[in-house]
Amino acid sequence: MLNYSKLRELQRGEMANAELCRLEGDFYAGLRAFLGSRKEAALSGSDLLAIKEYENVKKIARLLVEKRMEKIVLAALRGKDEVPGLTSEEKEFLAKLGGTIKENQEKMHGLLEEAPAEAEGNIKKIKFLKDITPYKGLDNRIYGPFKNGDVAEVPFEEAKFLLKEGTAEML
């Protein structure tokens, strides 16, 4: 049975340790029941002490839950699938968060990998309107030299730049 001193002890332990403290599987159900009983006591009368206790219990519970969530987020970022001391609700949270992080990392790493422009159908045919000396493009490849009237195929981003500068036109 959860009470004020047990909740405070759990909160202190969670703040003092880098690892998650082990909780009973029904901890959150017990916490909801305890908060409900404290709220009922605070609302049932004009006892200032009961109101203060309820406010303190809410604050302690919030700090405890936030600290546990922080540790779970860090575990998910580190790619951990299993963490000792989790309740069933927290295991579900870790699984969902871990899946979301993994999916996002794959997307972000995919953005960093350079795909060949040809494979993406990103090649554009342009005609040069001015002489261009060789230059390094956004993909670190060297383009040019080009003479006025030359026709070439270049990646879309290069074509966009050349069009903007007025040195080429799209064909």
Q: One-letter amino acid identity for 3?
A: N
Mean pLDDT of 119-139: 83
- What pTM, to 2 d.p., does this model score? 0.61
pLDDT, position 118: 46
CATH number of the domain at 123-170, please? 3.40.5.50
Could you tell me the residue ranges of all domains in the chain? 4-112, 123-170
What would the pLDDT profile of 3-22 be if each residue is shown by its tens digit? 999 999 999 999 999 999 99
Average pLDDT, the chain: 88
Q: What percent of the chain has pLDDT over 70?
A: 93
Given a cut of 60, whether residue 83 has pLDDT beyond it is yes
pLDDT, position 114: 53
Packing angle between helix 88-112 and helix 48-77, nearest 10 degrees?
40
pLDDT, position 39: 93
* pLDDT band with cut points at 50, 70 and 90 for residue 28: very high
What would you measure as the largest C-alpha separation in the chain, in angstroms? 90
Ordered alpha helix ranges (H), the chain: 4-16, 27-44, 48-77, 88-112, 156-165
Mean pLDDT of 125-146: 88
Helix (H, G, I), strand (E, B) or coil at 136: strand
The CATH number corresponding to 4-112 among 3.40.50.300, 1.10.3720.10, 3.30.465.10, 1.20.58.1030 equals 1.20.58.1030
What would the pLDDT profile of 88-118 be if each residue is shown by its tens digit? 999 999 999 999 988 888 888 776 665 454 4
Average the pLDDT over each of 12-16, 62-66, 119-123 and give the range with the smallest value.
Answer: 119-123
Q: One-letter amino acid identity for 27?
A: F
